[in-house]
Amino acid sequence: MLRTNPTPPTDISEAPLFLRALWGEDTPRAPIWIMRQAGRYLPEYRALKEKYSFWQMCEEPDLAAEVTLQPLARYPLDAAIVFSDIMTPLSSMGVDVAFHPGPVVAAPIRTPADIQALRVPAEDEISPYVGEAIRILRRSLHVPLIGFAGAPLTLATYLIQGQGSKEYPTLRQFLWGEPDLAHALLEKLAEMTARYLRMQIKAGAQAIQLFDSWAGLHSAPIYRTFGASYAAKVLDRLADLDVPRIYIAVGASHLYEEIAALPVEAVSVDWRMPLDLVRRALPAKTLQGNLEPAILLAPPQVIEEQAQDILRRGIGGAHVFNLGHGIFPQTPPEHLAHLIDVVQRFDRHAPHP
Ligand code: CP3
């Protein structure tokens, strides 16, 4: 029998704060990590980037582990996320991806033959260097390690369109005009992604996040058909491994009814809707978020006020603090230090006016 829900450990009170919050506990303080916490806003990342290409940094396990640890050496973060990219496993399927700096697919996938040619490798043949980086990291890390993947619809977005775009017209036309081909592609991507995440968990990832960055482009019916159904397929395949699952879609407040039904313990939300209102739409989930990343470019006083507002709105349920989306490369590193300090000093169980 396939289990539909993972089971938390029996000694959950001994677990790190981040995992307790993901399993639904209303913790005394909100754990914090930051999307893209290893990246270009850090001078030590830019220094490594002078010597190595982005792909080298992903594919060389020692380098990937080193980059993962950079933000943890600087800040008392509550979780680490393995350094990689959502596009990484596509190379194992036979897709050629470059970064300029966003992903560019050399030969976009649009015909039956293109889809037919995509390989769905065995679990241990999908980017094995990511598993190796995870094993290296688990030997030294003192906080939980997050593994991740792109959701099928978001991977298909880049594969069909070929690169990032404001409106994604080719993708949207494809979903309406070639639904059978879209389903065939999404089916393969879902199978590959389930295997890839199982590999990461078996290597030592203690939580996973599924990034559906472009899901918010779509109406609810299109999202149900091509987005949520395949994300659910991937997530269901992880239930027996007993790690908490986080899902993120950006600009997706209009899709919360569908998102509420996904088999995940936690939902990461962007900054467009206040957290207390999101809580009403997603009452059974841990909420992760939701500081607007641009606020980290504002003066420290503004960062403090806005972070405290989010912390107050998060009271009354499980909350993991994060940004609403990835940190901007122009963020001053000391502003992030200030944010983490504000979040970690906030007592969620004290009376708040
Ligand atoms: O969070 C972390 O620290 C882990 C690293 C991570 C990267 N990409 C490294 C990266 C993660 C979790 C991702 C996920 C990712 N990649 C997503 C989902 C999150 C989101 O933003 O919605 C998406 C859509 C991608 C695709 C992608 N890769 C884009 C759009 C870009 C360009 C972005 C930019 O900031 O210019 C990339 C390249 C990329 N991935 C970089 C990094 C650090 C920049 C590469 C560089 O150093 O030049």
Pocket of ligand 1 (CB under 6 A): 35-40, 49, 54, 81, 83, 85-87, 99, 101-103, 148, 164, 211, 213, 250, 325-326
Atom of ligand 1 nearest to the CA of 211: 18
Atom of ligand 1 nearest to the CA of 68: 3
Rounded distance from Cα 228 to ligand 1 centre (Å): 22
pTM: 0.97
Atom of ligand 1 nearest to the CA of 150: 18
The two tokens of residue 344 are 């970690």
Q: Which residue has its alpha carbon closest to ligand 1 atom 27?
A: 102
* Confidence at residue 13, expressed as pLDDT on a 0 to 100 scale: 86
Contact 22, 33 (CB under 8 A): no
Rounded distance from Cα 26 to ligand 1 centre (Å): 30
Q: Which residue has its alpha carbon closest to ligand 1 atom 23?
A: 86
Rounded distance from Cα 85 to ligand 1 centre (Å): 6
Residue type, 222: I
Which candidate, 289, 195, 207, 275, places its Cα nearest to that of 246?
Answer: 207
Q: Which residue has its alpha carbon closest to ligand 1 atom 1?
A: 36
Which candidate, 37, 40, 39, 18, places its Cα nearest to that of 29?
Answer: 18
Residue 286 and residue 22: Cα distance in Å, rounded? 6
* Confidence at residue 1, expressed as pLDDT on a 0 to 100 scale: 53
Atom of ligand 1 nearest to the CA of 38: 3
Q: Which residue has its alpha carbon closest to ligand 1 atom 38?
A: 102
Q: Which residue has its alpha carbon closest to ligand 1 atom 30?
A: 102
Q: Which residues have C-beta within 8 Å of that of residue 123, sequence separation ≥ 6?
A: 195, 196, 198, 199, 202
Atom of ligand 1 nearest to the CA of 39: 43
The two tokens of residue 103 are 């992903």
Q: Does domain 12-345 have CATH number 3.20.20.210?
A: yes
Residues of the chain with pLDDT under 70: 1-2
Rounded distance from Cα 208 to ligand 1 centre (Å): 16
Residue 350 and residue 347: Cα distance in Å, rounded? 6
Sorted by where each begins, the domain ranges of the chain are: 12-345
pLDDT tens digits, one per residue of 1-60 = 567 789 998 888 889 999 999 999 999 999 999 999 999 999 999 999 999 999 999 999
What is the b/e burial string over 82-102, where b = at least 16 CB atoms within 10 angstroms of the residue's CB? Answer: bbbbbbbbbebbebebeeeee
Rounded distance from Cα 70 to ligand 1 centre (Å): 16
User: Roughly what angle, to the nearest 10 degrees, separates helices 229-236 and 179-203?
Assistant: 30
* Confidence at residue 43, expressed as pLDDT on a 0 to 100 scale: 98
* Confidence at residue 56, expressed as pLDDT on a 0 to 100 scale: 96
Site to probe by mutation for ligand 1, drawn from 33, 36, 57, 327 as the one with most ligand atoms within 8 Å of Cβ, is 36
Q: Residue ranges of the alpha helices (H) in 111-228?
A: 112-117, 128-140, 152-161, 169-177, 179-203, 220-222
pLDDT tens digits, one per residue of 222-232 = 999 999 999 99
Residue 136 and residue 303: Cα distance in Å, rounded? 35
* Confidence at residue 352, expressed as pLDDT on a 0 to 100 scale: 84
